[in-house]
Structure 1
Amino acid sequence: MTYTPDAIRAITLSTLRLPLSVPISDAKVFTGRQKPMTEVVFLIAEIETEQGFSGHGFSYSKRGGGPAQYAHAKEVAGAAIGEDPNDIQKLYSKLLWAGASVGRSGVATQALAAIDIALYDLKAKRAGLPLSKLLGSHRDSVRTYNTSGGFLNASLDEVKARATQSLEEGIGGIKVKVGLPDSSEDLRRVRAVREHIGDAPLMVDANQQWDRATALRMGRRFEELELVWIEEPLDAYDAEGHADLARALDTPIATGEMLASVAEHERLIEARACDIIQPDAPRVGGITQFLRLMTFADQAGLDLAPHFAMEIHLHLAACYPREPWVEHFDWLDPLFEERLETRDGRMIVPNRPGLGITFTDQARAWTTEKVTITA
């Protein structure tokens, strides 16, 4: 049996605004750097081919940048029309050069991520395989931890109740946000959660809001709580500071979610700035770039815990040679017909073709702009 070349017939781009049920606050709100988050803006790419195959992917932005992603994608997507959808790396390069004047990170590549992810979804569906199996997985389930229940806008009682619920639902670990102006309150909350959940895996996340001295002091205070990791203790681009902290503390350091290119992560890796790297496929440019980054991280002996977008990252984490973590968020539930299963502390990789997700009617109703690009 020989392969008959296919061609991309149309790319439909849309943007939607997902409202959050309550305004969300992390340490960046308490330091005055950001306002509470009330919505997440998504860029959706849906690709159709001449032979009738289709795939969809998404990128996203929190607080700012969503309209810019949509505008850039509209400008460059036409470069993929008529091309073979199976040539994903070639297409990524072509789209990158179509918008080269605005660079190779940030909005420029986040706009491409939705298209790149859609191409992988399409290719896996064509093969009749879950994306993880197309890429070559190491496991059929991944350790998982909950983040959406541990934000600073929630009272301690609410955090503990959500932690109980998460563990009862088969989620393995609990992450709690820290970085309040009053460090003693951080310690009180985290100690209370540790006592509440016993020896279940526990992580904390400062969202870049400590300076070097505070991070070291807090890291030492947290040592007794046997945390799985301390996340983003310093500014995301302070590779040297993270490296010093990683050497000074027994608790592993995790960071990387805010970086917007493979090159930025390479600097982190070369500096030995973390024990656990946390890339985000939509932020670094899609699956093509994420796979490059996984190779670098594995070569450096790092653990992996991708940020957000579990519907994408579950498949990618399943392909990492070392045992990874995947972050459980329930915010995106209204967007998809399917639910990811959690059991015994792990998230089960779905056996549906591609990413295994279908957008809901509600997602369509939240769409604010849409365009279809053809020849």
Structure 2
Amino acid sequence: MTTPATAAASAGAATLDRITGVRLSSVTLPLPTPISDAKVLTGRQRPMTEVAMLFAEISTESGHEGVGFSYSKRAGGPGQFAHAREIAPALIGEDPSDIARLWDKLVWAGASVGRSGLSVQAVAAFDVALWDLKAKRAGLPLAKLLGAHRDSVRCYNTSGGFLHAPVEEVLERATASLASGIGGIKIKVGHPDRAVDLARVAAVREHLGDGIPLMVDANQQWDRPAARRMCRDLEEFDLVWIEEPLDAYDAEGHAALTSAFDTPIATGEMLASVAEHAELIRLGAADIVQPDAPRVGGITQFLKVMALADQRNLQLAPHFAMEIHVHLAAAYPREPWVEHFEWLDPLFDEHLEISGGRMHVSGRPGLGVTVSEQARAWTVARHEVRG
């Protein structure tokens, strides 16, 4: 961790720039239709009607700028913004290139609330902005700054397969997604009636045919006996993976499923630290790891998870936030998947190119996105710090 001595040592001849301003925005993104997955049908959560976004825009004395974001669904957005507002002054006067040290500094600025969950999700917005700034200063897409293994990644769509949608609508949206260039389809399962789940999966598999990648996501809704039964019944559908069949923190249960069934088990999206992912990977609890950069604390922490997954020869399929994850997935040694959600499209002036079943890394520097005027209009709170 950073100490006063190491902070002082960082201010030498190699420090070529300084952070002079940080602007925070809390943006409420409305969803066109209330969204329900298994957590709603089982009474654990209410339908999702909006996404709370936390944007951080960082500027330097040399005129460079970076933008980053984090997010929260259903609850937590105001808390993320409040925490980010408290710790933002710690960045003023710092060298924006010292990203790892600044991550430590920001976490220690709010250490009394821990090093996972909401606190690091607030830090994530700053961390992503610093990586965006660094890549822009280099004139490179973030994937190229990190060292890309490919210029495009396989992508699949989730947003058309939620449980609130009738199966006929799911089939129509799957057809539309494939026609738009998407490479695979994921649908939600975890319905209280397992027969409904199996009928929906069978209908989608028949509609798609055998050659189209199909995934299912139970959103943590099964207990161990139900998960074993469902994984056994789902084997016949040649799925790419079964996602979150158990509670996100039941690593031992996931490990048992991973060893018992041919269909790969995917999980990790709900974990909020590198340490939690390390335990998941250590126990062999996933064939496919699904970290979420905003949830684990940003790109700096995501890269640590990537290294752990690579060391164990695991597959990677980052959760949500495709504007960030397309770059990170492109830098993973093994062919990954990236999740396509069009929900965030209105927040940015640029959109990702998708064709041939793949999401393409743009040639624009950094993340390759700028905050739209619509996002500005949806802003519910602002805060600015200047040096």
Could you tell me the TM-score, scaled by structure 2's length? 0.96
The residue that corresponds to 1:128 in the other structure is 139
Q: Does 1:332 align with 2:347?
A: no
2:375 pairs with one of 363, 368, 372: 363
Q: Does 1:238 align with 2:250?
A: yes
1:142 pairs with one of 153, 166, 182: 153
Q: Distance in 2 between matches of 1:343 and 1:288?
A: 29
Whether the 8 Å CA contact 2:92–2:386 is kept in 1: the answer is yes
Q: Distance in 2 between matches of 1:214 and 1:350?
A: 43
Residue pairs, 1:33-182, within 5 angstroms: 33-182=44-193
Q: Distance in 1 between matches of 2:14 and 2:122?
A: 30
Residue pairs, 1:170-319, within 5 angstroms: 170-198=181-209, 199-319=211-331
Q: Distance in 2 between matches of 1:160 and 1:331?
A: 19
How far 1:148 sits from its partner (Å)?
0.4
How far 1:363 sits from its partner (Å)?
0.5
SS in 2 for 1:61: strand
Q: Distance in 2 between matches of 1:106 and 1:316?
A: 21
The residue that corresponds to 2:26 in the other structure is 15
Offset from partner CA, 1:199-241 (integer Å, 9 cap, x none):
2000000000001111110111111100000000000000000
How far 1:302 sits from its partner (Å)?
0.8
The residue that corresponds to 2:385 in the other structure is 373
SS in 1 for 2:69: strand
How far 1:3 sits from its partner (Å)?
6.3
Q: Distance in 1 between matches of 2:57 and 2:114?
A: 24
Segments of structure 2 that go 5 or more residues without pairing to the other structure are 1-12
How far 1:4 sits from its partner (Å)?
6.2
Segments of structure 1 that go 5 or more residues without pairing to the other structure are none
Q: Distance in 2 between matches of 1:45 and 1:61?
A: 15
Q: Which amino acid letter does the alignment assign opposite residue 295 of structure 2?
A: R
Paired residues, number: 374
How far 1:337 sits from its partner (Å)?
1.1
The residue that corresponds to 2:3 in the other structure is none
Q: Which amino acid letter does the alignment assign opposite residue 214 of structure 1?
A: A
SS in 2 for 1:371: strand
Q: Distance in 2 between matches of 1:319 and 1:192?
A: 35
Offset from partner CA, 1:53-86 (integer Å, 9 cap, x none):
0000000000011111000011111111000001
Q: Distance in 1 between matches of 2:370 and 2:195?
A: 44
Q: Distance in 2 between matches of 1:168 and 1:262?
A: 37
Q: Distance in 2 between matches of 1:104 and 1:211?
A: 29
Q: Which amino acid letter does the alignment assign opposite residue 114 of structure 2?
A: G
How far 1:343 sits from its partner (Å)?
1.1
Q: Distance in 2 between matches of 1:137 and 1:346?
A: 15
How far 1:351 sits from its partner (Å)?
0.8
Whether the 8 Å CA contact 2:23–2:58 is kept in 1: the answer is yes
Q: Distance in 1 between matches of 2:181 and 2:244?
A: 26
Q: Distance in 2 between matches of 1:334 and 1:4?
A: 37
How far 1:301 sits from its partner (Å)?
1.1
Q: Distance in 2 between matches of 1:100 and 1:329?
A: 33
Q: Which runs of 4+ in 1 moved over 2 A?
A: none
Q: Distance in 1 between matches of 2:127 and 2:76?
A: 19
SS in 1 for 2:66: strand
Q: Distance in 2 between matches of 1:336 and 1:349?
A: 16
How far 1:135 sits from its partner (Å)?
0.6
How far 1:261 sits from its partner (Å)?
0.2
Q: Which amino acid letter does the alignment assign opposite residue 18 of structure 2?
A: A
Offset from partner CA, 1:228-264 (integer Å, 9 cap, x none):
0000000000000000011111000000000000000
Q: Distance in 2 between matches of 1:3 and 1:81?
A: 18
Q: Distance in 2 between matches of 1:316 and 1:114?
A: 16
Moved more, 342-351 or 113-122: 342-351
Offset from partner CA, 1:124-172 (integer Å, 9 cap, x none):
0000000000010100000000000000111101100010001111100
How far 1:33 sits from its partner (Å)?
0.1
Sequence identity (%): 70
Q: Which amino acid letter does the alignment assign opposite residue 157 of structure 1?
A: E
SS in 2 for 1:164: helix
Q: Which amino acid letter does the alignment assign opposite residue 51 of structure 2?
A: V
Q: Which amino acid letter does the alignment assign opposite residue 58 of structure 2?
A: I
Whether the 8 Å CA contact 2:124–2:299 is kept in 1: the answer is yes
Could you tell me the TM-score, scaled by structure 1's length? 0.99
Offset from partner CA, 1:185-208 (integer Å, 9 cap, x none):
100001000010112000000000
Whether the 8 Å CA contact 2:15–2:95 is kept in 1: the answer is no
